[in-house]
Structure 1
Amino acid sequence: MFNISEVDKGNSDLARLVSELDAFQSELYPAESNHLLDLSAVSDEQLRCVIVCDEGDTPAGCGALLFHEDGSAEIKQVYIRPEYRGRKLGEKIISAIEGIASENNSRLLQLETGIHQQPVIALYRRCGYDMCDAFSPYKADPLSVFMRKELL
């Protein structure tokens, strides 16, 4: 059994998970195609974060939602530790993030991921996200995949 909860961006478990994700992505993509988010550079009002933990409260994964001034929001930092993959935790994280977006009246969710992360692209597709063009602040990049979903 896994539980998911919202945490402050300064949470130490979140910081460890994000550090693992950043290291993973840094191996896959060159710096100019690696769109890492420095959580400390974003205001508390702009960012909401979740972590999922196992029964022993060991962090298994995380995700974040970055709110934009135009009312849209961007999914960031979705990561599941390798030993926890294949247990539908990504779907739990996406569902929690979508709930936070709905509570905050954000109806358009967007994301950027990389072409070398096919399992996460498949996750987003299962969750109803469609491919789209690059959105601000991104520019088209042959190593990036852009997706979006309109919430009801």
Structure 2
Amino acid sequence: MSDTIRISKTTSENPDFINLIGALDKSLWERYPELKTDYWGNNIIELNPNVVVIYLENNPVACGCFKKYDKDTIEIKRMFVSLEARGMGLAQNILRELELWAHDLGYSFSVLETLYKQKEAIALYQKTGYSIVDNYEPYVGLENSICMRKQI
């Protein structure tokens, strides 16, 4: 494959990350218009120093980040791969990069939440070692949420 892929560790202030999560939000609200009020507050990214953006031929095409959940655990947030870059394994690259970064910072576990219609995401997470667990806060009682956990 001749496509040049570059992985960049950055922050939530990165304009490419901001644009990618804008596209993520748009795709989620198109797929789940009825859930916007239930979930909007869970997707606000305060200043986050743990962001990964993947560039394909210098174009930003994928992103993800993590934040501290508790002293041993991080939560994966804002995973997204643009339509034109899907099927290239970039989501796995993002996850691996985020998990290694969190491990280097002393974390032992990773949790994440996705929505039940995100069949591709659920399959990806299970393929990379995540197991479905009971919903954790703030997703307790939200039946559309699928929560997962992995030792990293």
TM-score, L = length of structure 1 = 0.89
The answer to whether structure 1 residue 54 and structure 2 residue 56 are counterparts is yes
Query: Please, which of 24, 27, 52 is the counterpart of residue 27 of structure 2?
Result: 24
Matches within 5 A, 1:1-152: 1-29=4-32, 30-35=35-40, 36-39=42-45, 42-44=46-48, 47-55=49-57, 57-151=58-152
User: How many pairs align?
Assistant: 146
Alignment RMSD? 1.4
Q: Equivalents in 2 of 1:128, 1:135: separation in Å?
A: 18
Between the aligned partners of 1:88 and 1:143, the Cα distance in structure 2 is 26
Whether the 8 Å contact between 2:67 and 2:77 is mirrored in structure 1 is yes
SS of the counterpart of 2:77?
A: strand
- Offset of residue 146 of structure 1: 0.6
Which runs of structure 1 show a deviation greater than 6 angstroms over 4 or more consecutive aligned residues? Answer: none
- Cα distance in 2 for partners of 1:69, 1:111 equals 13
Unaligned runs of 5+ in 1: none
The alpha-carbon deviation at position 126 of structure 1 amounts to 1.0
* 67-76 or 118-127, which deviates more: 67-76
Change (3 A) 1:66 1:145: same
More displaced 10-residue stretch of structure 1: 75-84 or 2-11: 2-11
Q: What are structure 2's unaligned runs of at least 5 residues?
A: none
Contact 1:33 1:144 in 2 (8 A): no
| Higher mean C-alpha deviation, range 65-74 or range 82-91 | 65-74
Distance in 2 between the 1:67 and 1:100 partners? Answer: 12
Q: Percentage identity across aligned positions?
A: 28
Does the residue aligned with 2:50 lie in a helix, a strand or coil?
strand
* Structure 2 length-normalised TM: 0.89
